[in-house]
Amino acid sequence: MATKTIAGTTVDVNDEGFMTDPAQWNKEIAAELAQEEGIPTLTDAHWKVIDFARQDAGASGKAPTLRRITTVAGVSTKELFALFPKGPAKKVAKVSGLGKPEGCV
């Protein structure tokens, strides 16, 4: 298992850079991961999606898909792409400290 230091914390990651232990995640890590993904600042709208993703993953054991985020969290597809451009489900999962969502290439 590989490790990576993010926001001064060493965390376990897979070969694609997704955290493998969601318990190691914190908001500082989220902010740094967001910057790595091209999102300079996390707004309240970003946190709404991140908080939903973490709660949903805690209940289901896996990162939510794009469809699940848009239908259950009440965020439109257009808004989700604006918040997390170019692959929003993957970016939401990565910034939220979750594994890669099922169905993502």
Q: Is the predicted pLDDT of residue 91 greater than 70, yes or no?
A: yes
Average pLDDT, integer, range 6-23: 94
Q: Is the predicted pLDDT of residue 101 greater than 90, yes or no?
A: no
The rounded distance, in Å, linking the Cα atoms of 59 and 1 is: 25
Average pLDDT, integer, range 75-86: 96
In the block, tokens 């939510």 appear at 64
The rounded distance, in Å, linking the Cα atoms of 37 and 48 is: 18
- pLDDT for position 104: 57
The rounded distance, in Å, linking the Cα atoms of 75 and 9 is: 31
Average pLDDT, integer, range 34-49: 97
The rounded distance, in Å, linking the Cα atoms of 17 and 53 is: 18
Burial of 20 (0-12, 13-18, 19+ CB in 10 A): middle
Average pLDDT, integer, range 28-55: 97
- pLDDT for position 102: 74
Provide the whole-model pTM.
0.93
pLDDT-derived band at 103 (thresholds 50, 70, 90) equals low
Catalytic residues: 104
Look over the chain and give the mean of its residue pLDDT values, rounded to a whole number: 93
Domain ranges of the chain: 2-95
The rounded distance, in Å, linking the Cα atoms of 54 and 62 is: 9
Tokens of 42: 């996390």
